[in-house]
Amino acid sequence: MSKGYESVGMREIAQAVGKAPTQVYRLGLSKTDILAEIIIELNQEQIDRLPRLLMTLTGANAFERTCAYLLRLYEADIEYMPIRAIGAAQGWTWSTAYEEAVTAQVWDLLAPIVGWLADDHVGDIPARCMAIWSLYYVGYRRAVVHGGTAADCLADIRPSLAVLIPLPQPPSVLSHSPAAAALLTSICSE
């Protein structure tokens, strides 16, 4: 990473993994493919850690749990910032197969949020989740471009998250009391 993605050639990649350049070439992978494989492996490590991570999260509703979750994802992604930043920049050049694999992993990472939104009876969950993931990358730029912390990343997107994840409304007295609903109906119809 010290030379930068563009400056590293396949020979140096082969040397870094202890292979002869011809061995790497025979794999039929380009430099972009190798980067995609690394990103997929990092994503899978995050996915594999989800059960333990989720047991540590607290929050009274989908908004609070999502904020706590994204904070932990930011912490993990900041740990691998150099490769994550290159992956984000070069992801446009990946093959369709790699893009589909990464997209499937994104949905795996969004699965906890899907559940929390469903628990809070929030509608349009797929659209909200895609927007949340897009916001996640907007927040991540705080770390990549400005050297921000995980908390800084979350602070940047928190107001927008609040728009996407409404706080649950307390149940109405009318929803639990047929008598109160009948009284209100009779008052309003007079």
Question: Do the beta carbons of residue 48 and residue 113 sit within 8 Å?
Answer: no
Whole-angstrom distance, CA of residue 22 vs CA of residue 11: 9
Q: Is residue 179 part of a domain?
A: yes
Confidence of residue 17 (pLDDT cuts 50, 70, 90): low
**pLDDT tier at 5, thresholds 50, 70, 90:** low
Residue 48 lies in a domain: yes
Q: Using 50, 70 and 90 to split pLDDT, how confident is the model at 36?
A: confident
More confident residue, 31 or 120: 120
Q: Burial, 115: exposed, middle or buried (Cβ in 10 Å; 0-12, 13-18, 19+)? A: middle
Query: How many domains does the chain divide into?
Result: 1
Establish if 144 belongs to a structural domain. Answer: yes
The answer as to whether 22 is a domain residue is no
Sign of CA dihedral 141, 145, 148, 152: negative
Higher-pLDDT residue of 43, 177? 43
* Rg (the chain; Cα; Å): 23
Task: Give 96-154 pLDDT, tens digit per residue.
Answer: 999 999 999 999 999 999 999 999 999 999 999 999 999 999 999 888 888 899 999 99
Domain of residue 78 covers 32-189
pLDDT of 50: 96
Residue bearing tokens 């899978």 = 44
Per-residue pLDDT at 76 exceeds 80: yes
* Residue 59 CA neighbour count, 13 Å, CB half: 23
| Residue 13 pLDDT class (50, 70, 90 cuts) | low
Residue at 58 is within a domain: yes
Evaluate whether residue 123 is within a structural domain.
yes
pTM over 0.85, yes/no: no
> pLDDT tens digit string along 174-186?
555 666 666 656 6
* Torsion angle (degrees, nearest 10) of CA 15, 20, 26, 29: 0
